[in-house]
Structure 1
């Protein structure tokens, strides 16, 4: 029977730590490789190994207890939500090879704190339009409760991620053009620090100038500075009406220019999603839709019903000027189904090729350079011979590329790596960023240095100040080992 013993790699402190955790949190500690593997990685293509143990937390006290024990033992700890990340941000990293034998340890010397059990909605205040939730709550669980009050929480990606994980990665998504990212929608946090102490940041006031902005220091820190356990969120009214139009264009450039023009003249876009011809073909095959297989925009407008007709007419005029090939108005009853089709873009891309895996990445550039950046990236994809559909939140200059690569083909992976590097350099040359919303994780650490060569030393100084032993999510973001 595989792995019936607790980790037996000669590390008495690790085995002793697991005993301590089992006594403190009985029935909620997993330590066999078979049990920990599912919790030891995200959806990315990056390397991982089974964690030494997994603690299934249900309260902030559980997290604090675990972190205190790990801090005392000098054992690293990683917080994990739903595992939907795409840059290895929640991966338990493989250990270093033995310098004599060259053997890589089969287990990662790390404890995972699994937060999905922290799924309580603690408070909803319709009058102040805010709510406080635990980190494991998902948007799909929160919004039905809010809907009874005419409110919604719309920040974050299309996947049903945990709200704590969304804050930790400063997630964005299709609604960001109108409602902002997680950074704009989090007002306060409860955070467990590296020594197990608990800190509360921000509050419920709509604005504050009281000291350092600790809330937004932790938002986007990917669990490297502290573990988010509770969040106070900004809520918004559910709009009175919504329209969704699918627009087909002769090129990605034409589609991107439409969005740019809409923003320039004040069309109130709620969502603006661009998909290239390859991605549309993938969606048609995967979701059994019949969209025209060319560069396509999904555009949603929302607000008061009396104003939407005028907004829609302005959109039509701009689309006509750009040479729109086809315009499809989606019936209100079908809008959510169509948006789900868009959210399924990544599995649709992978389904294009049997025996494959996806390497999904993103960049974000100023709107004025979006069309050129995507067009040059498309040309690079074509010359490389790779399969890599493009989809993007073009309302804020963010687009995604998903390499669909053959399992075990290292040559193809190297070609993809070269194209990836050129894409990053291109985005940075336009004044953009190496990641609009995927985060840094283990996959984009060198890109972060390229983007912020003078800023990364400051980030490392903050990391050392808050986590001097380096136990929080090591090997990610600005790991001091890279100095």
Structure 2
């Protein structure tokens, strides 16, 4: 890096550029357990031109640039492992166009998902992807997020229609359009969705919207065992019931959530469910699931009858991470997620639970089990190297177990730094070589979020 890089950056961006230690520290960390030195500076982009100029300056001086939204990622995506600057796009937070008749919206990358839904709710539409955290749409696109509604509405992969992105040379490209399908050329939209900021930086994102459901019902249901809960989910999906959300918590996690969110849920293996549709359609779904659950020794369904009760219930579920960390004061959480074919879900979960219990490491378990996705959080003393090593061994065995079942090392968190070895295990050397070739072709200087997905 030449000595005139920072002065040039400050000259271009003025008050939008900061080297304050506290700000750099904030932008050099995420919600995960990995640490690294902070970036040398933070630039707040307020326009597409700002993004282009920042990337061009970094390209000219060979400086890494890392896009930053809300800092809610979990696998080290934001860490400046090769130095460089953090490009904060949170001020680019506008809804640019809404086409209600086509059920599409175009937004800037820094808008958060809750703000987007607040902006469009009066149109009778909503954006269903809900990873729990109030993440930015740009970050959700970069990590191919999914979350609690994915079993019915899909993931970011299915709901991003088009992108405007700045390339590693600072050029502006557009991929896709608002049409529901296209056979025109390479699918660059799908290539960039989930690329974790390593192939381009988004400046506009066009999304598919969905009608607000006419009727919504939510319930909890407890079971004698995790196996009973999981088999209820498997049969529900195999019967084609279009359930909107179905979340699993083990008994210990329910207890953590109760204490953190001041609830009084029955502390037993639990499914949190939500049903969307017409009143008649919802009633039919409820009756089908109740019948399946009864065959697996379910306790009575407890209903969240009002929107406020539903919100409180699923907010408590989304706060399971913080509930877990608070349950062991001073702990850090090593989180992992995996996804398996629905027919192997019970095997993957039960083996992973037994493994965690045998380790004596405190843990919590939650899962978007309707699509075979589950999460473990291992709560460790950050100063105890032995505990960290045992937790990482648990993580390794869990992920390898999922891959052996023809599943994936990550259903939604992404690779970042933490799961690079598992990506090779899952995809093989040939696929990794192809990914590296794409990265080298699109980012020959290696300035876009280097060291992520696979080591630079």
Tell me the TM-score normalized by structure 2. Answer: 0.98
1:50 shift after superposition:
1.6
Counterpart selection for 1:474 from 441, 445, 450: 450
Q: Distance in 2 between matches of 1:19 and 1:386?
A: 49
Q: What's the counterpart of residue 355 of structure 2?
A: 380
Q: What's the counterpart of residue 382 of structure 2?
A: 407
Counterpart selection for 1:449 from 419, 424, 427: 424
* Alpha carbons 2:112, 2:135 under 8 Å: kept: yes
SS of equivalent to 1:326 = coil
Count of residues paired in the alignment: 454
* Alpha carbons 1:386, 1:416 under 8 Å: kept: yes
* Alpha carbons 1:193, 1:227 under 8 Å: kept: yes
Q: What's the counterpart of residue 189 of structure 2?
A: 215
Question: Deviation per CA, 1:370-409, whole angstroms, max 9, x where unpaired?
Answer: 0111000010011111111110000000000001111301
Question: Deviation per CA, 1:318-352, whole angstroms, max 9, x where unpaired?
Answer: 00001102321111231111110100000000111
1:19 shift after superposition:
1.2
1:264 shift after superposition:
1.3
Q: What's the counterpart of residue 20 of structure 1?
A: 8
Tell me the TM-score normalized by structure 1. Answer: 0.93
Counterpart selection for 1:276 from 233, 250, 254: 250
Q: What's the counterpart of residue 98 of structure 2?
A: 124
Gaps of 5+ in 1: 1-10, 96-108
1:357 shift after superposition:
1.1
Q: What's the counterpart of residue 40 of structure 1?
A: 28
SS of equivalent to 1:401 = strand
Q: Distance in 2 between matches of 1:400 and 1:228?
A: 28
Q: What's the counterpart of residue 265 of structure 2?
A: 291
Q: Distance in 2 between matches of 1:64 and 1:274?
A: 43
Question: Deviation per CA, 1:143-173, whole angstroms, max 9, x where unpaired?
Answer: 1221111000111411100000000000000
SS of equivalent to 1:468 = coil
Compute the RMSD of aligned alpha carbons: 1.0
Q: Distance in 2 between matches of 1:469 and 1:138?
A: 31
Q: What's the counterpart of residue 151 of structure 2?
A: 177
1:126 shift after superposition:
0.6
1:478 shift after superposition:
2.3
1:288 shift after superposition:
1.1
1:34 shift after superposition:
2.9
1:198 shift after superposition:
0.8
Gaps of 5+ in 2: none
Q: Distance in 1 between matches of 2:189 and 2:440?
A: 18
1:31 shift after superposition:
1.4
SS of equivalent to 1:389 = strand
Q: What's the counterpart of residue 413 of structure 2?
A: 438
Question: Deviation per CA, 1:123-148, whole angstroms, max 9, x where unpaired?
Answer: 11111110100000111111122111
